Amino acid sequence: MRAMKAGTNLEKVLRSGAFAVTAEIGPPKGAVAAVVKRKADLLKGSCDAYNVTDNQTAIVRMSSLAGCVMLKEAGLDPVMQIVVRDRNRIAIQSDILGAVALGIGNFLCLSGDHQRFGNHPQAKGVFDIESIQLIQTFKNLRDEGRFISGDEISGEMPLFIGAAANPFADPVDFRVARLAKKVRAGADFIQTQAVYDVERFATWMKGVRQLGLHKEVYILAGLIPPKSIGMARYMRDYVPGIHVPDEIIERLENADDVKEEGQKITLELIEALEEIEGLSGIHIMAVGWEEAVPHIVAKAGLLPRPVV
């Protein structure tokens, strides 16, 4: 068994060998705490941990750190997402210190969507360090007790370090190699890009197993339950790196109840994913449709969540 890094609920569930479930919670485009609390109440008990996004798609929202603290207060285990787009190494390390002081233990390192996609395309992109170096930064903070500069940190830094992976991007032959780099950099767990094409995902996982990476890092497969035909088409046509097969779109088009069908598709995907050797769980990104998560998890037979 791998050594305990931060002792968060997510880490404990993964260490127990149970099939983990995480979900994403998008903070509001405003300062109303009740929005976060409502989502927390809605999702409580249905997952092992909850990612709070960091200005996703470069649209300004309540900070990930604030959202995580509110989830924590509501009794949920948060995963703080951090992108390198908006903050330099000084700000990022300072935020990590603050987050740890506030009891946050899970982090997800991301590049972040380019600012040109968001609602402030005029913004200056920072990209001082990049996402794999962010993983290294976390590991250094935790294992060496040192900042990037080499200066020592006072106190413990219990960190459970997450990273993203996209099995569907190009060049295909590099996708397992990139995961291997993230593992070497210090990732403890991985949440992947949304899977719609299980076959392609399984091929990637095969490559992952060949390198034994599934024994070094917990891999959670990403899922985006399709909420509408328009959203599925948009993902197929405009979101780089998401591969939505036409068959999925057709099923939604022919359905009487699109949302129902979207959940059904997601449940079938979960069933297929559970069969894949070396996969440690799923990560549900129900963008703007968080209320679907408890239903999906229940119908997938993944309730109750383990108490560890």
Asked whether the bond before 121 is cis by omega within 30 degrees of 0, the reply is no
User: Is residue 178 close enough to count as binding other proteins by CB under 8 A?
Assistant: yes
Q: How far is the CB of 105 from other proteins (least distance, A)?
A: 24
- CA torsion 194→198→202→208, rounded to 10°? 0
Interface residue with other proteins, options 180, 202, 211, 287 (CB under 8 A)? 180
109 binds other proteins, rule: CB under 8 A:
no
Min CB(94)–other proteins separation in Å: 16
Stretch that binds other proteins, among 49-57, 66-74, 123-131, 244-252 (CB under 8 A): 123-131
Distance, CA of 269 to CA of 257 (rounded, Å): 18
Tell me the window of 14-22, 94-102, 171-179, 195-203 that interacts with other proteins (CB under 8 A): 171-179
Residues 182-221, interacting with other proteins (CB under 8 A): 184-185, 193
- Segment near other proteins (CB under 8 A); pick from 113-121, 246-254, 284-292, 298-306: 113-121
Binding residues for other proteins (CB under 8 A): 84-85, 89, 111-114, 116-117, 125, 127-133, 136-137, 148, 164-166, 169-171, 174, 177-178, 180-181, 184-185, 193, 240-241
